[in-house]
Structure 1
Amino acid sequence: MVDNAPVSDQTFAHLMAGLGLGPENGPVAVAVSGGADSMALVRLAARWGAVVALSVDHGLRPEASLELDRVGAWLKPLGIPHDRLHWDGPKPASDLQAAARAARYRLLEKRCRERGIHALLLAHHQNDQAETLLLRLARGSGVWGLGGMAAVAPALTDMPVQNGRPLRRYRPLLSLPKARLVATCKAFSQEWIEDPSNRDVSYDRSHTRALLANPPLSGLTARRLAQTAQHMRRAGEALDHYAQGLMARCVVFSAQGYVTVQRTGFQTAPLEIQLRLLSRLLMFVGGAIYPPRLTGLEALLAEMGATGFKGATLRGCRVFLQDGEQVIICREEASCAAPLPIKPGETVFWDGRIRAFLDVDQKPAMVGALGDAGWRYLCKEGQGIDKALPYPVRLSLPALWSDGRVVAVPFLGWRGSEAGFSTELMARQSVFGAMPDVEQE
């Protein structure tokens, strides 16, 4: 492979097929910032199949709007639809980059769903992967984190696209060096915009980019580091295989969304397998996209194995001991989403894990956590409710609220006068589904 050769249509089609994508699957969306990477991607994708370009103006730089004007002018004669999205509202004073990334993904994914598109293409490439590996190495990441960015990653939110298919983020260029994308733009006579933040030395990624440009060791190249990330990802898949075996032996799943872990059997597994499974269970129960930090996970695992374990919280989950042997992992009430309005005949997704539906003959209400007040009301008014569930589990159960009172809690088998309400546990994916990104890139 020539590291500075333009990407051919055949090569791009092969990369897309490797991700399970074909032109016959319908249009794809491409996140376009105007840089050489995203301009190369959108041009290649437009020759491959139907595309929609999506650009986000974060409102952080006054010149950003003019840059997107240029992007639109480049795409219009090519017949590529271009949607401009805006991050409105107040901006955080700290960790602005992370907040901007999260906002960008939310806006991109929301527009994909509005357009009925199930595939969002991102232009991350081999150099980005190498930089990500170095950054995570500096943070002390484990096998999972050192696997770098995933070629296929789940969406930030679990709401399906209109056609019922899950929305996924795809990175078809992850194996290609940036030089090939620059060469591709030149082959298309395509201009691009240089991002000034790439030269800002206050960002860690700028330092890693400079290090790769002048490596202190022979062989410390973007290609080698990207290969290392791939090796670590394969190692992670092997660990998942053995963690699934441990799960089959020691974990029981409840229809109410909590899990029970047999502590003694769990502790017989190697430490890395325990950590792997515990992380996946926390993500599954809490509806989280990203796994907990390794330090917090190791601390929780140590607490779980200690005599007199009283319970702990991590990643939106409550972990506690029952009957001296069973470890319960359930959703933490304090971390549940705020109550969400629901209209008659409407389906809403609450707390990243619950699909709720209200019949058309009901009146508008709210979906929220049952909580202590709701439970006490049920004990007073409800008949035949299931009181066997552990108390912390009950608190986070989805309930229908109307006029300040609970009117239905399907997971407890209880309904008041408003019987037309149903809830369903929506796992973001199976416990060992597609490897998520460890952090926002």
Structure 2
Amino acid sequence: MSRLPPSVARLRVAVRDALHDLPTGALVLAACSGGPDSLALADTLAFCAPRMGLRAGLVSVDHGLQDGSAERAAAVAAWAATVGLDPAEAVSVEVTGPGGPEGAARAARYTALDAAAERHGAHAVLLGHTRDDQAETVLLALVRGAGPRGVAGMRAVRGHYRRPLLDVARADTHAACEERGLKPWTDPHNADPRYLRSALRPTLDSLVAVLGEGLVANLARTAALVGADTDHLDALAAAALEEVRDGEGLDAAKAGALPVAVRGRVLRAWALELGVNGAELNHRHLDALDALVADWRGQGPTFLPGGIAVRRGGGRLTGG
């Protein structure tokens, strides 16, 4: 019997580990663009799922941003059907809204994947982000001054989304495609310097050349460590938010007495409850909110995205 190629073995172990807790008969969907990472993931899912008593399908999202994108998504879905993935569908989306082309495309993609998961009753949706993607995310967060939440990077599990390959190298997904005879599509956006993540990749390659091959793994490990700390602080903040509530507002004195790391999370969570779009809420907004409770000098209201004003009066913070 021939030995299983190491890259293929690593992917299969990662996918099995990511799905071990699902009930027998559960449906798992792979989100697949046709690129090497998601194609290798979908192929691995097609192998692993039936051997684990699971059902497997695929969704390919056409963002409509490139010539031939609809045909490419349809071809991915057609391939999926040949390897036993069912359902196997291509879904078109309209990319509009805030966040620039990358942010708007991401929002449209997740909306489509959420709808597919609900439509088919899927227990999980798999995403093909690799350890290299995680390292890039950490660097981008550092460049943007995003703080611990950003440095924590992408989570292995978030709701019904799972990322089995966060500890698998991009080189392994490329090698697995070659070993399995898959023909991935190369997205030209991945080499387009107009997109920040694409522009960062040569810099990361240069850093690896100087600092060694362990850099990518170390950055990904940093994300995991910071993520664990962030989860713990978020849990403390959730409890603290209930303690400082005063009707629909917050008790300013109690909020101001919280440790800084907890207080910032409390104010962020409360702002989201007020209806603020989390993608538009930045550190300047949170600093202004924090000043209302920790550096109160009689200042006027703080305005948050969406035109929401937060005021302090009578020892309380209120917003609307």
Paired position in structure 2 for 1:40: 40
- Code of the residue aligned with 1:300 in structure 2: it is L
Is 1:303 matched up with 2:292? yes
Paired position in structure 2 for 1:275: 264
Greater C-alpha radius of gyration: 1
Q: Please provide the CA RMSD for this pair.
A: 2.6
Is 1:87 matched up with 2:93? yes
Paired position in structure 1 for 2:115: 110
Segments of 4+ moved more than 6 angstroms: none
Indicate the percent of aligned positions where both proteins have the same amino acid.
29
Aligned with 2:318 (options 320, 328, 331): 328
Residues in 2 aligned to 1:181 and 1:16: alpha-carbon distance in whole angstroms? 18
Paired position in structure 1 for 2:190: 198
Question: Residue 245 of structure 1: CA displacement?
Answer: 4.8
Structure (1/2) with the larger helix percentage: 2
Contact 2:135 2:219 in 1 (8 A): yes
How many residues of Structure 1 are paired with residues of Structure 2 in the alignment? 305
Q: Superposed, which structure 2 residues align to 1:5-404 within 5 Å?
A: 5-6=7-8, 7=10, 9-17=12-20, 21-22=21-22, 24=24, 26-47=26-47, 48=49, 49-80=54-85, 81-88=87-94, 95-154=100-159, 168-215=160-207, 217-219=210-212, 221-252=215-246, 259-286=248-275, 288=277, 290=279, 292-304=281-293, 305-316=295-306, 317-322=308-313, 324-329=314-319, 332=320
- Code of the residue aligned with 2:318 in structure 1: it is I
Residues in 1 aligned to 2:129 and 2:63: alpha-carbon distance in whole angstroms? 19
Q: Deviations over 1:68-98 (max 9, x none)?
A: 243234223212232111124x857982222
Pick closer, same or farther for the CA change 1:70–1:102 going to 2, 3 Å: same
Pick closer, same or farther for the CA change 1:23–1:123 going to 2, 3 Å: farther
Residues in 1 aligned to 2:78 and 2:318: alpha-carbon distance in whole angstroms? 56
Structure (1/2) with the larger strand percentage: 1
Q: Deviations over 1:326-384 (max 9, x none)?
A: 2224xx4xxxxxxxxxxxxxxxxxxxxxxxxxxxxxxxxxxxxxxxxxxxxxxxxxxxx
Mind listing any 5+ residue stretches in structure 1 that lack a counterpart? 155-167, 333-441
Pick closer, same or farther for the CA change 1:265–1:291 going to 2, 3 Å: farther
TM-score after normalising by structure 1: 0.63
Bigger relative CO (Cα 8 Å, ≥ 6 apart): 2
Q: Deviations over 1:93-148 (max 9, x none)?
A: 98222212211111221222122224221111111111111111111111111111
Q: Deviations over 1:36-94 (max 9, x none)?
A: 11111111222223122111112221122332243234223212232111124x85798
Mind listing any 5+ residue stretches in structure 2 that lack a counterpart? none
Question: Residue 217 of structure 1: CA displacement?
Answer: 4.1
